[in-house]
Amino acid sequence: MNQRSPTVQLVSEAQAGSVARIGAQPIVLAIATFAIIVAGVVSIALWRSYTGTSPELDRVVAARQLQAARAAQVAEASEQLAEKTKGLEATQQESIDQLQLMQDQLQATRRLLATQQAESKRLSEQVSALTETVESLRQSYASARSSDSSSPSVRNRSIRTRAHAVRSAQRRTRSSG
């Protein structure tokens, strides 16, 4: 039917066989590559399950440990800060208490000083009153001596004057105290 030359026929058969061979080879090559990849994945999975370690799990565990360490550091720092704050509050309260005590002592000292000043003023007024009384008694006594030779009515008058001066000094002292 088809008459071809034997050479053309051989070349054509050779081309058809090589196409068939080339067409069959990529499938085999792909299957072999796939089988190698599957074997690699299976061997890695078996190795991980046998050793019990997984890099992903190790990384997750390491990250959690790092987070826990950081959280512990933060908690410790917070605790130290809280202790220092409590210490400062206690020191501040002690200072406030000491200041209040000093203010109370100062007020008591001021009251005592005011009382002493009032007492000093009162005593000074009493001394002045007594000085006036003594002076009036001296004058009365001097006038009584000079009038010794005079009549008894003058002497009685000088005694009355002295008694009156003593009573007024006593009244001034009582009214001041």
The 10s digit of each residue's pLDDT in 43-83 is 988 887 777 766 677 788 888 999 999 999 999 999 999 99
Q: Which residue, chain included where needed, has tokens 């090559």?
A: 29
Distance CA 73, CA 50 (A): 36
| pLDDT reading at 116 higher than 90 | yes
CB 116 within 8 A of CB 141: no
The 10s digit of each residue's pLDDT in 120-176 is 999 999 999 999 999 998 988 888 787 765 555 555 666 777 777 777 777 776 776
- pTM above the 0.85 mark? no
Residue 147 sits at φ, ψ, to 5 deg, of: -100, 20
The ranges assigned to domains in the chain are 7-52
Kindly tell me the burial class for residue 125, based on how many C-beta atoms sit within 10 Å of its own C-beta (0-12, 13-18, 19 or more): middle
**Helix then strand then coil, % of the chain, to nearest 5:** 90, 0, 10
